[in-house]
Structure 1
């Protein structure tokens, strides 16, 4: 691995850790509660981030496109009962993404699946995909922090240092 790859994965894993701290100690009942005017829930965000990881791993490993579930409209909703299983699914998706990134060159261009918003996308480098995952995870970690604070007053920033 290169220093750049190490640093990119370090930052991505730091954002993932921040998200995981935010959802630490939740029950399934907590994970489905809406605490703001948004439709977002902590379970829905976790489901979405899991799907993001799986989608990008699918793309990185150049499997047939598009990845399963990429265009599902329920990406931000979760009404399940087993929050621990959802967390385990996220951890599994994270490991698969990290493995796919570690075995690829950051400069490698990867074909993207067509989507309604971009039927003929340009390929992206593995580097850009990792940067996208960092942004996506950080953005949703911020959403999760607001939802969690409204839920029970927990601050993710304070919880990072507990």
Structure 2
């Protein structure tokens, strides 16, 4: 559900640009192999700012979440393995994402549980430039992460999937 929300939100960013030319820094950019390689690895969900009440209520249940992105450069897909702590339990999800290179949307994910102040400020500026208030941002609480232990148990399976047959 959250992955779906993230993808919907990311795919709508170019539309926000089309509606308001004041936000020139939020544009779609072609996705290259270098972009996919940069995305590969472990990323952490830090927080989001949403106006849609349904999405906001769903996101408020997330206590902690991280992802593994494993791009396949030849078939334009990314294997996404998601570990989400929600309501004090871990939920694992694995899916493949299609990559549309020509009209790709760029977004920032965190690759550690804390974020540099300058990156946080950049995120806050983007939120404000969209007419949203900082109070609308919902952050995760990494002290409540229960997925780390489960992820350690799945690590051999994940590495086998990455290596292939």
Q: Same fold (TM over 0.5)?
A: no
Give the TM-score, by structure 2 length: 0.25
> Which structure shows the bigger proportion of residues in strand conformation?
2
Q: With structure 1 as the length reference, what TM-score do the two structures score?
A: 0.25
More helix by share: 1
- The one of the two structures with greater contact order (alpha-carbon pairs below 8 A, sep at least 6) is 1
